[in-house]
Amino acid sequence: MFAETVEFLRRSEGGLDDFRRLGGRLLIALDGTEYHCSKSIHCRHCSRRLRGAGKGKRGETEYFHAMLAASLVAPGHDKVIPLEPEFIVPQDGADKQDCENAAAKRWLAAHGRRYAELGAVFRCRRSPSTSRPARWHSSWR
């Protein structure tokens, strides 16, 4: 559905032109968001975190669902075009909990080439390969 919408806009006269910036490039913003959080309701797909622990406190476990949201954006434009999300969920066989950084790597691996062919550059809150703030870039693996 997401790719088909972008392809429809690409083929439509002027469909993506309003979103082109930086010498005709499309800007894709990637950022994580939570869409469920509870101290009691949870499932096997939930991520979890301990809140309020430390200095002799036991803390409470919070269960949450999160995703990496991708959107075509343009400075000065009042609309965005949502793209395929990447869900942040516990990964089979992984010792560490999934995170926004790993989801960004998966998103770029799955979708980066297709959007790069449209002249897109990508922006994550954090670079997928480091913990430093990211710059706009057009590379993917």
Q: Give CA–CA dist 106/86, Å, rounded.
A: 7
Q: How far is CA 8 from the centre of its chain?
A: 22
Q: Using 50, 70 and 90 to split pLDDT, how confident is the model at 61?
A: very high
| pLDDT, mean of residues 113-135 | 70
In this structure, what token pair is assigned to residue 111? 């979708």
Phi-psi region for residue 132, left (φ > 0), alpha (ψ -120 to 50) or beta?
Answer: beta
In this structure, what token pair is assigned to residue 5? 């919408």
pLDDT in tens, 101-112: 889 999 999 999
Please determine, for residue 93, whether its predicted confidence score (pLDDT) is greater than 70: no
User: From the CB of residue 98, how many other CB atoms can be counted at a distance below 10 Å?
Assistant: 17
Look at residue 17 in the predicted model and tell me its pLDDT.
Answer: 92
Residue from 90, 92, 113, 115 nearest 103 by CA: 90
Helix runs in 1-139, H state only: 2-11, 100-107, 113-116
| pLDDT, mean of residues 16-34 | 92
